[in-house]
Structure 1
Amino acid sequence: MIENLINGLKGQLTGELQSKFNLQPDTANKSVDLAKDNVVGELKQRASSGEMGGLMDVLKGRKAPDDSSATNSIINKYVSDLTTRLGIPESVAKQVAPFAIKFIMQKIGGQASAGNISEGDLLGGLIGGGLKDKLGKGLGGLFK
């Protein structure tokens, strides 16, 4: 569910990254894919470990992304990925990362606040993926 929401924002966010940070179209596009991977990865990790409390408040639009340790964790990892995987200078990555991650989190929160997605939609996709990964590893890859 969250991956679909982020994919729906991709064009808009890619355009923002190009205009605000002068990223080339291909780099901006890859940056959005990396942002999605970082957001989804962190959310799945937290969902599977039961650490969703404050993060659900952000996803449901009741808490600002700046007030979440999960958001900050995503941003820090994303800065590293932008520099190491895409070769974006660290000074630029430190501007792109907070913008892109907060953009995504605010858009998801807006959809939840508007009633377009439910907590079950958010948790279902996250926990389902997290549990599938754990089961796959724990049972010799049977569910992969």
Structure 2
Amino acid sequence: MKALNVPACVDGWHASPLVRCASLARVLSADAHIDARLSEMHFGAWEGRAWDSIDRGLIDAWAGDIEHARPHGGESLAQFAQRVVAWFEAKCVGRGAVHVVAHAGVMRVLAAHLLGISYESALQWSIDFGGIVWFRCVRGEWVLVRWNA
């Protein structure tokens, strides 16, 4: 972690159970904590499909109420955020450094929660594949130290 200039890991590595995250976390720590709450948003019938293969009317319906609509049958943004924030509250509040290997949606939802902005706004933030996001709690307030480092 020295090469990345991030704090020493006090409370372990946490990861989504999806292979691309869990396998990296296990390389970084033999006792990585794998947690389904760190999975990307579930898109139901749209899972794994290209956007242009989905009926435009369904996409528009979803975009019209991105927080609560679920025309795909999977999770709404609100449900997804509730799952991710529940993980954060259970595993991170009051603990030392926690490292997470997860998906862009998870990091965007955490950013919105920690910074007090709308989930919809944070969905627009770009995260590179392999990008590092770092938050720090300073005097009880969360600050964004790095985004896409």
Q: TM-score, normalised by structure 1?
A: 0.26
Larger Rg: 2
Structure scoring higher RCO (CA < 8 A, sep ≥ 6) equals: 1
Q: Quick check: which one's helix share is greater?
A: 1
Q: TM-score, normalised by structure 2?
A: 0.25
Q: Quick check: which one's strand share is greater?
A: 2
